[in-house]
Amino acid sequence: MRPLNNYTMRDIARLAGVSVSTVSAVINNKPAVSPEFRAKVQQAIEAVGFHPHQGARGLRIRRTNLIGMVMRDATNPYFIEVMRGIEDEVIKNSYELMVCNSNLRTETETRHLNALYAHRVEGVLIAPCDSYAAHKILVGNRIPLVFLGIVPIGAEVSCVVTNNVEATHEAVRYLIDMGHHRIAVIAGRLIVSTALDRMEGYRKAMAEANLPKREEYLEPDDSHIEGGYQCGIKLLKSLEPPTAILALNSRIALGVLRALRELRVPCPESVSVMGFDDSDWAALFNPSISTIAQPTYEIGQQAAKLLLESIWAAEKGGVVEPRQILLKSSMRIRESTGPAAASNAQYGAGHGPE
C-alpha cells in the first residue's frame, strides 16, 4: 500500500472519479466546480490524508498562501493573544501562518526573516527587537510587511499599535487624582518605540500636574520579572521611596510585587502598583493587579487584515501606502492601586524600609 504522504492529485482524481483538473480546482479553491464534485474530491482527500506539496504548488502559481510572523518574545502573554488574532484572520482567508520567535536577539530575527523569505511567504508580520536597528528589515524587502506594536524610529511603515502615549498619560493622571505625587516608572527596554512612547505619556502627565520627574524614579529594565524585582528593591530602599510604581509590562509588575512582599511593604496601603498588559492571572493575583489593557486580539486581527490588503494589492500590481492603525487601551482598576493618603502616613514620611 502506498504511504499516505505519497498520494498525488492523479490518485485523488481516480479515487473520486473526476479529472485531475477538477481536483486542482478544488485544492486551489476555484469556484467553477459543482458542489457534487467538490464533495467527492474532499471525501477522497480526507480518506487518504492527502496534502498538496505547497513548495511545488507555489512555484507553479507564484503563490504559497503562507504568512510569516516574527515575534520578539514568545514567553510574553501579549504576543500569544496577538497571534490568536492573526491566526484567526489568516485562516479565515485560506492562508497558513508560520511563527518564529527571535527571543530578543537581532541575529536570530535576521535568520528567521531569511528563512521565511526562502519559504516564499507572501507577507510578514513582525515585532522587531530594536526600533533603532529595525531599519535594516526594510532594506531589500520585496514582500508586504506590517509591524506589530514596535516600529522603526523615523520610518513610515504599515503598523498596528496601541496609543501608548495616551495609555500611560491616562494611567498617571489616575494615580495623580488618587493623591500620588511620588510616582516612579519602570520602563522596560528603551530601544523600542513602545517603551519610549509610554515614557512620553508619563512625562506629559507629570508636567501637566507640575510634578517633578525625578531621575531616581525613572528605572530602566530588561522587561522580565527579575528586572522588575531588582528595580523595585532599589526604589523601595531609596531615601524617598515612591508611593506609586507604574510598571510598563505585566512581568515587571510581578517583579515589583515580589519586592514589596519580600520587604513587607503592603500594597496598596503603602505603595500602589499598576502594570501594563492585562494577563488572565492579573485578576487572580493577591492583590489583584491594576493594569493598562491593550486590545491584543484586535491588534493581531487588524495587522493581518492590513497585511492581506497589501498582498492582494501587490498581486494586481498595486501598492498600499504605509498606514498606521492606532488602537485605544483601557484601564482595569483592581486591588493593587489605592489612595495615596494612607501610603504617605504608613510609609514613614519619605523613608524607605530598612
SS (H, E, C) 36-69: HHHHHHHHHHHHHCCCCCHHHHHHHHCCCCEEEE
| Residue among 156, 155, 230, 147 nearest 186 (CA) | 230
Give residue 236's pLDDT.
96
Is the preceding omega at residue 287 within 30 degrees of 0, hence cis?
Answer: yes
Those residues whose C-beta lies under 8 Å from the C-beta of residue 88, and which sit 6 or more positions away, are 300, 301
What DSSP element (H or E) covers 113? helix 106-118
Q: What is the DSSP letter of 5?
A: G
Instruction: Assess whether 120 and 204 both reside in one domain.
Output: no
Both 260 and 241 in one domain: the answer is yes
Determine the pLDDT at residue 228: 92
Q: Which pLDDT belongs to residue 231?
A: 93
Confidence (pLDDT) at 59: 45
Residue 59 covered by a domain: no
Q: Are residues 142 and 241 in the same domain?
A: no
Domain count, the chain: 3
Residue type, 346: Q
Residues 199 and 299 in one domain: no
CATH number at residue 27: 1.10.260.40
- Spatial neighbors of 348 by CB under 8 A, at least 6 apart, are none
The 3 state secondary structure assigned to 76-108 is CHHHHHHHHHHHHHHHHCCCEEEEEECCCCHHH
Residues 288 and 177 in one domain: yes
Q: Are 310 and 320 in contact (CB under 8 A)?
A: yes
Cα dist. 104→3, 68, 224, 228, 310 in Å? 41, 17, 12, 17, 27
pLDDT at 353: 41
Sole residue written with cell 499516505? 4
For residue 97, what pLDDT is reported? 97
Assess if residue 101 is contained within a domain. yes
**Which phi-psi region, left, alpha or beta, contains residue 96 (left: φ > 0; alpha: ψ -120 to 50)?**
beta
Distance CA 65, CA 307 (A): 12
Tell me if 352 is assigned to some domain.
no
Cα–Cα distance for residue pair 294/74, rounded to 1 Å? 17
Q: Which amino acid is at 42?
A: Q
- On whether residue 93 sits in a domain, the answer given is yes
Query: Are both 126 and 41 inside the same structural domain?
Result: no
Residues 28 and 40 in one domain: yes
Q: Mean pLDDT in each 10-residue stretch from start to end of the chain (354 residues)?
A: 59 85 81 84 80 53 84 91 97 95 94 91 96 86 91 94 97 97 90 93 96 86 86 94 94 94 96 92 91 97 97 88 96 96 48 41
Residue with cell 506589530: 148
- 70 vs 82, 99, 137, 205, 264, CA distance in Å? 12, 6, 12, 34, 40
Q: What is the pLDDT of residue 180?
A: 96
The owner of cell 474532499 is 42
Contacts of 65 (CB under 8 A, 6+ apart): 54, 58, 94, 95, 96, 122
Q: How many residues does the chain have?
A: 354
Q: What is the CATH number of the domain that holds 322?
A: 3.40.50.2300
Q: Taking a C-beta distance cutoff of 8 angstroms, is the pair 68, 98 a contact? A: yes
Domain span at residue 129?
Answer: 64-162+295-328
Burial of 319 from C-beta contacts in 10 A (0-12 / 13-18 / 19+): exposed
**Residue at grid coordinates 482527500:** 45
Contact (Cβ atoms closer than 8 angstroms) between residue 332 and residue 282 = yes
Together in a domain, 195 and 273: yes
Is the same domain home to 225 and 113?
no
Based on the fold, state whether residues 264 and 310 are members of the same structural domain: no
Cα gap 192→106, rounded to integer Å: 13
Closest CA to 240 of 335, 342, 171, 343: 343
Report d(CA 31, CA 25) in Å as an integer. 8
